Amino acid sequence: MKKTMYEKIWDSHLVVDEAGQAPLLYVDRHLMHEVTSPQAFEGLRLSGRKVRNPHSILATMDHCVPTKNRDLPIADPIAKKQIETMAENCLENGLNLYDMKNPNNGVIHVVVPEHGFVHPGMVVVCGDSHTATHGAFGALAFGIGTSEVEHVMATQTLPQKKSKTMQVVVNGALSKYASAKDIALAITGKIGTAGGTGYVIEYTGSAIRELSMEGRMTLCNMAIEAGARAGLVAPDEKTYEYLKGREFAPSGQYWDQALAYWKSLPSDEGAVFDATVTLDAADIAPQVSWGTSPEQVAGVDSVVPAPESFADETKRKACEGALAYMGLKPNTKITDIAIDYVFIGSCTNGRIEDFRIAAEVAKGTKVAGGVTAIAVPGSYHVKQQAEAEGLDKIFIDAGWQWREPGCSMCLAMNGDELTPGQRCASTSNRNFEGRQGKGGRTHLVSPAMAAAAAAAGHFVDIRKL
Amino acid sequence: MEPYKKHESIAALMNRSNVDTDQIIPKQFLKKVERSGFGQHLFHDWRFNDDGSDNPEFELNKPAFKGAKVLVVGDNFGCGSSREHAPWAIADYGFNTIISTSYADIFYNNCFKNGILAIKVDKAQLDKLMAEIAANEGVRFVVDLENQQVTTPGGNSFSFEIDPFRKGNLLSGLDDIGLTLKHVDKITQYEQQHKQNFPWLWV
């Protein structure tokens, strides 16, 4: 039978598949951060259970860590306790932790690929919805809750329901400065935040093949924003090239063996998907979200929609609510929206490629009056690489703040946040109400669009620069 | 986990769609290392005014919905972040049943780990239930998981589908991990095979 990549990974990880109970799926890699793990460790302790395979776990601290004055103690006592609890739990269970002072520290979904910890064909979980990022390597990677974190620690498995498969085909060439982020936002705009519910998405087509590994990570990262359980990109030479030589990648005699396996993973020619969605890359203008859901997006060359333009009553109501919260009027040109803040970073767009393209746009500009712009590398390795290339100087000369790594303003848990009413061009993944601070207004964009907005003080059609 | 028992309870109405987990439990409350005490922060930014007083405009602050165990809410409930703090907050507030047309995947799984029955109905049925509550705030629904039946006084009773595994766990209040560990020999066997097939993962 012809199989999709998802079906191949699913079948090879089935431990138990008996009538009357959910299939048990084996988990190869378990990623962790400080926010969604403490109650799982507590549960293990209370039940007298142990971590079954400590080597399957890689942990970091990212959500609550400060991005400046890192040498000072964490000011927020509750965040401080959460950070300390993470360190104690990892020590007690013999887990590999890149703590705040570790040179490998950074956002979990940026750090893990840097070390080659995820390979094609794996099942990967983390108590974090953006685990989907690792689908870029052809691994089945999805977010789980804290009870499931405990379950995986204790059993190395998870009861799972098999998902349906959706193929998202993106053919053609992207226009200059349109990026993986714009593809991700355009897909969410097209199918909606529940469009992928119950599905695992496989991204295919020539535009996907053209993306770098960083771009594929950005794309898969936002599979969850379309409601999908996971996103996948079939591995190819770019994947193998990226992995080769990294710390946890197979080496020596094992490399060829692993490679042969990886090459068997892509969906069989003629495999059937339950649904197919098609986009033409050439049609994807740089995207800007205008509302409070990642499906509320528009091309930069268009306008904020009017509620009446939605035939569906639910969408019309959602548009009304979003415009009220965002302080926007229908039919305002996207390029007329003025901003107060710019954030480049996060597990979506905090990799070296993101800072390179943003620096290219920021070079020789000045941050507009009244605008605060912060660049937050996804990890210390990204930060070092950027500094080695002189990118930090470009940002600093342009009036940006160059910070230490962390999740920062993607979810504003660490003190980096908007004040009520402030409007932000953000390279993160969610524009929910209050996500970047109570009353804060988030517009999701690519790094290049964020850098251009910082200089202009409003959104600009970067293709015209 | 407490076993789920048949109950008759007030059904509260939130006629909103795409309610995300950032609204259910805003991020400033995610720093705790305990599982308990999140109910007081449920829907915080909608529920309270800036001075900390109750926002009378917010649905769940209506006196008629006080003590509700059933939450009837619009499409795609619980989208966004995987935070299990969301169902912890919902359960701690007092809800044990949610009725909607659809839920985000991770949130849906998380509900059942915390004794919350998440019922799926079609749009027409949801509209009827919402209309019944709107017309008679404080109305009580009978939820019978054993027989997969919800009874309403306004004539909108219905039966619902649920995965038998999830149903069994809710009814027994059994620990998932304990159930899985019954298969520990198979897990060990799988791992031995895994080591042979993928030796590079075990060096």
pLDDT of residue B203: 78
What does DSSP assign to residue B26?
-
When pLDDT is averaged across residues B32-38 and rounded to a whole number, the result is 93
B161 contact residues in A (CB cutoff 8 A) = none
pLDDT digits (tens, 9 = 90+) for B45-70: 999 999 999 999 999 999 999 999 99
A69 pLDDT band (50/70/90 cuts)?
very high
pLDDT of residue A155: 98
- Interface contact flag, B75 A128, Cβ < 8 Å: no
Cα–Cα distance measured from residue A249 to residue A241, given in angstroms and rounded to the nearest whole number: 11
pLDDT of residue B77: 97
User: What's the whole-number average pLDDT of chain A?
Assistant: 97
pLDDT digits (tens, 9 = 90+) for A197-232: 999 999 999 999 999 999 999 999 999 999 999 999
Name the residue in chain B with its Cα closest to that of A411.
Answer: B27
Burial label, A97 (beta-carbon count in 10 A; 0-12, 13-18, 19+):
buried
Give me the interface pTM, i.e. the ipTM.
Answer: 0.93
pLDDT digits (tens, 9 = 90+) for A274-310: 999 999 999 999 999 999 999 999 999 999 999 999 9
- Interface contact flag, A21 B45, Cβ < 8 Å: no
B28 contact residues in A (CB cutoff 8 A) = 413
B150 pLDDT band (50/70/90 cuts)?
very high
A64 contact residues in B (CB cutoff 8 A) = 31
pLDDT at A21 over 90: no
A35 contact residues in B (CB cutoff 8 A) = 30-31, 83
pLDDT digits (tens, 9 = 90+) for B118-127: 999 999 999 9
Cα–Cα distance measured from residue A286 to residue A283, given in angstroms and rounded to the nearest whole number: 10
pLDDT digits (tens, 9 = 90+) for A85-131: 999 999 999 999 999 999 999 999 999 999 999 999 999 999 999 99
pLDDT digits (tens, 9 = 90+) for A343-354: 999 999 999 999
Taking a contact as any Cβ pair under 8 Å apart, which residues of chain A between 74 and 103 contact chain B? 76, 78-79, 81-82, 85
CB-based contact, A146 to chain B, within 8 Å: yes
Q: How far is A47 from chain B (nearest CA, A)?
A: 10
pLDDT at A20 over 90: no
B194 contact residues in A (CB cutoff 8 A) = 26
pLDDT of residue A465: 86
Query: Burial letters for A248-272: b for 16+ Cβ neighbours within 10 Å, e otherwise?
Result: bbbeeeebeebbebbeebbbeeebe
pLDDT digits (tens, 9 = 90+) for A425-438: 999 999 999 999 99
B76 contact residues in A (CB cutoff 8 A) = 193-194, 197, 227
pLDDT at A19 over 90: no
- Interface contact flag, B104 A197, Cβ < 8 Å: yes
A314 contact residues in B (CB cutoff 8 A) = 17, 74-75
- Interface contact flag, B183 A24, Cβ < 8 Å: yes
DSSP code string of B74-140: -SSBTBS---THHHHHHHHHT--EEEES-B-HHHHHHHHTTT-EEEE--HHHHHHHHHHHHHSTT-E
Query: For residue A402, which of A413, A390, A412 has the smallest C-alpha distance?
Result: A390
Q: How far is A35 from chain B (nearest CA, A)?
A: 6
CB-based contact, B167 to chain A, within 8 Å: no
Name the residue in chain A with its Cα closest to that of B29.
Answer: A413
Cα–Cα separations (whole angstroms), residue A52 to A93, A249, A272, A397, B191: 10, 22, 36, 50, 11
Q: Which regions of A105-152 does DSSP assign to beta strands (E)?
A: 123-126, 140-143
**Which one of B18, B19, B25, B165 would you mutate to disrupt binding with A, by most A Cβ within 10 Å of its Cβ?**
B18
Q: Which residues contact B189 (CB under 8 A, 6 or more apart)?
A: none
CB-based contact, A441 to chain B, within 8 Å: no
Query: For residue A287, which of A443, A456, A453 has the smallest C-alpha distance?
Result: A443
Name the residue in chain B with its Cα closest to that of A121.
Answer: B198
Q: How far is B83 from chain A (nearest CA, A)?
A: 6
Locate B79 and state its tokens.
């989208």
